[in-house]
């Protein structure tokens, strides 16, 4: 099959197995080039197939020589249809990890369900005994609650007032105004149920009860803060309420894990192009300005650079883990540099379709977006038949 990108709105309907494999290989090479990290050896990554979760899994495996179990929700290839990128990424990861002699198993199913939690616990008991590090990196628009059976939907809405700001259609480069009506209380509650900390604490409780958390086990979930221009729709919007809840949950989990000396952290990460973030209004325009400035300054990072730095300079730096006044790990420190933020705030006032080519890195944004789906890699011959082998990996 010859596979080409097929765009629909904020998503691409196709994915390229060889390109996804290249993306995974590039991340592995980066981690190896940075040297070994003295980190956890038995790692569970929930949300392991794309974005920050995939980069965490790669850093654990190829930076720390860890055995990894990855949980994700992806579509396998079917007649005439490609798999989702996360499926190909995971197939490629499993190939590479196996070649490197590393233990690797993956579970493809709904992480919010009791069944997948139990399946994961059974696998840990059978193969690894216990886990030293749990990375919680889910991003989902929906969650079926395991006890009520209710399907909750998250939203990206401001709270209190209607919000109007500039946004960009990154496919066309057209900058326009977007207006979003404020959330209802139900929207807020649903978003907290989907993207807040309840499921994270359910995972940690189930694992503790089953005795599969090692003494001193650590767990890390990911959050975002960001600039003033996105505040109304992000940090002070519905998703921000969910992040507040996630951040508060870290303290509850640490408390619950006292008996085994466990600890939960939230790491605040940089804004990056992932499937989850490209759907947020205003954010892609901010990101294209940010990337231009950070690249010019030599401080730009992608998911893998962020996760490698999280492990080497924060989680496993050999001394105490540095946190902010709210107990959060900050690897958005470079993004939030005052000079960058001042420059963005100034550019924002006059940014338009005409000035974006000059002031923003739309090309970089688009290329990152294509890369997510395995497209745009120089080393891949897209006119050739895609590698069928990659489509029959051993994912449970």
Residue ranges that bind ligand NAI, judged by CB under 6 A: 47-53, 71-74, 86, 110-112, 137-140, 222-224, 269, 271-272, 274-277
Please, what is the angle between helix 114-123 and helix 198-209, to 10°?
40
Least Cβ distance, residue 85 to ligand NAI (angstroms): 9
Least Cβ distance, residue 275 to Na ion (angstroms): 9
Least Cβ distance, residue 53 to Na ion (angstroms): 3
Q: C-alpha distances in angstroms, 168 versus 33, 71, 102, 126?
A: 35, 33, 42, 49
Sequential DSSP letters for 73-105: --PPPBTTBPPPHHHHHHHHHHHHHHHTT--EE
Least Cβ distance, residue 215 to ligand NAI (angstroms): 27
Residue 71 contacts which entry, ligand NAI, Na ion, none (Cβ below 5-8 A, type-dependent): ligand NAI
Q: What SS3 class is residue 376? A: coil
Which residue has the closest beta carbon to ligand NAI? 51
Residue numbers 74-133 binding Na ion by CB under 5 A: none
Residue 120 contacts which entry, ligand NAI, Na ion, none (Cβ below 5-8 A, type-dependent): none
For ligand NAI, the closer of residues 144 and 174 by Cβ is 144
Q: Which of 17, 51, 70, 85 binds Na ion (CB under 5 A)?
A: 51
Is 49 annotated in some ligand binding site? Answer: yes
Residue 44 contacts which entry, Na ion, ligand NAI, none (Cβ below 5-8 A, type-dependent): none
Question: At a CB cut-off of 8 Å and minimum separation 6, what does 96 contact?
Answer: 24, 25, 28
Is 54 annotated in some ligand binding site? Answer: no
For ligand NAI, the closer of residues 37 and 329 by Cβ is 329
What is the H or E stretch that residue 290 is in?
A: helix 283-297
Is 272 annotated in some ligand binding site? Answer: yes
Binding to Na ion by residue 137, rule CB under 5 A?
yes
Phi, psi of 322 (to 5 degrees): -70, 135
For Na ion, the closer of residues 47 and 77 by Cβ is 47
* Separation between Cα atoms, residue 298 and residue 292, nearest integer Å: 10
Is 111 annotated in some ligand binding site? Answer: yes
* Separation between Cα atoms, residue 282 and residue 156, nearest integer Å: 11
User: In angstroms, how far is the first alpha carbon of the chain from the final one?
Assistant: 24
Binding to Na ion by residue 163, rule CB under 5 A?
no
* Separation between Cα atoms, residue 57 and residue 101, nearest integer Å: 15
Least Cβ distance, residue 186 to ligand NAI (angstroms): 21
Q: Which of 17, 19, 53, 197 binds Na ion (CB under 5 A)?
A: 53
The stretch near Na ion (CB under 5 A) out of 40-48, 187-195, 224-232, 329-337 is 40-48
For ligand NAI, the closer of residues 214 and 309 by Cβ is 309
Residue that has been written with the tokens 């790491």 in this structure: 267
Name the DSSP letter for residue 161: S
As annotated, the active-site residues are 234
Q: What SS3 class is residue 345? A: helix
Is 243 annotated in some ligand binding site? Answer: yes
Beta strands in 227-303, from DSSP E residues, in sequence order? 263-268
Sequential DSSP letters for 194-236: HHSSHHHHHHHHHHHHTT-EEEEEEEEEEE----HHHHTTTTT
Binding to Na ion by residue 222, rule CB under 5 A?
no
Angle formed at CA 24 by CA 23 and CA 29, multiple of 5 degrees: 100
Residue 233 contacts which entry, ligand NAI, Na ion, none (Cβ below 5-8 A, type-dependent): none
Please, what is the angle between helix 238-256 and helix 198-209, to 10°?
20
Which residue has the closest beta carbon to Na ion? 53
Residue 280 contacts which entry, ligand NAI, Na ion, none (Cβ below 5-8 A, type-dependent): none
Least Cβ distance, residue 294 to ligand NAI (angstroms): 14
Count residues near Na ion (CB under 5 A): 5
Q: C-alpha distances in angstroms, 25 versus 8, 18, 89, 185, 392?
A: 27, 10, 10, 44, 18
Least Cβ distance, residue 259 to ligand NAI (angstroms): 27
Known binding residues? 47-52, 73-74, 110-111, 138-139, 224, 243, 272-274
Known binding residues for NAD(+)? 47-52, 73-74, 110-111, 138-139, 243, 272-274
The residues that touch Na ion, with contacts defined as CB under 5 A, are: 47, 51-53, 137
Known binding residues for substrate? 224
């Amino acid at each position: 099959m010859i596979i080409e990108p097929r765009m629909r709105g904020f998503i691409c309907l196709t994915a390229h197995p060889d390109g996804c494999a290249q993306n995974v290989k590039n991340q592995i090479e980066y981690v190896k080039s940075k040297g070994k990290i003295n980190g956890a050896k038995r790692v569970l990554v929930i949300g392991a197939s794309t974005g920050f979760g995939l980069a965490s899994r790669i850093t654990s495996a190829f930076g720390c020589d860890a055995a990894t179990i990855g949980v994700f929700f992806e579509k396998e290839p079917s007649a005439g249809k490609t798999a989702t990128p996360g499926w190909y990424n995971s197939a490629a990861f499993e190939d590479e990890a196996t070649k490197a002699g590393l233990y690797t198993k993956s579970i493809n199913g709904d992480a919010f369900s009791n069944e997948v939690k139990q399946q994961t616990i059974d696998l840990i008991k059978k193969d690894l005994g216990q886990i030293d590090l749990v990375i919680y990196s889910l991003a989902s628009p929906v969650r079926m609650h395991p006890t009520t059976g209710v399907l909750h939907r998250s939203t990206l809405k401001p709270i209190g007032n209607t919000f109007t700001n500039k946004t960009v259609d990154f496919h066309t480069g057209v900058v326009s105004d977007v207006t979003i009506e404020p959330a209802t209380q139900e929207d807020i509650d649903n978003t907290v149920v989907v993207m807040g900390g309840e499921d994270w604490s359910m995972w940690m409780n189930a694992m503790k009860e089953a005795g599969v958390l090692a003494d001193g086990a650590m767990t890390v979930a990911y959050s975002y803060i960001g600039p003033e221009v996105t505040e109304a729709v992000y940090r002070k919007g519905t998703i921000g309420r969910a992040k507040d809840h996630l951040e508060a949950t870290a303290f509850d989990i640490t408390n619950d894990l006292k008996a085994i000396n466990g600890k939960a952290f939230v790491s605040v990460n940089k804004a990056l192009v992932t499937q989850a973030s490209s759907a947020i209004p205003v954010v892609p325009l901010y990101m294209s300005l940010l990337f231009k400035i950070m690249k010019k300054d030599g401080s730009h990072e992608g998911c893998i650079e962020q996760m490698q730095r999280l492990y080497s300079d924060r989680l496993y730096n050999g001394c105490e883990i540095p946190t902010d006044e709210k107990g959060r790990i900050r690897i958005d420190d470079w993004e939030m540099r005052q000079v960058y933020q001042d420059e963005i705030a100034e550019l924002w006032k006059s940014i338009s379709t005409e000035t974006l080519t000059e002031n923003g890195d739309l090309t970089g944004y688009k290329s990152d977006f294509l890369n997510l789906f395995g497209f745009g890699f120089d080393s891949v011959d897209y006119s050739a038949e895609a590698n069928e082998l990659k489509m029959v990996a051993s994912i449970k």
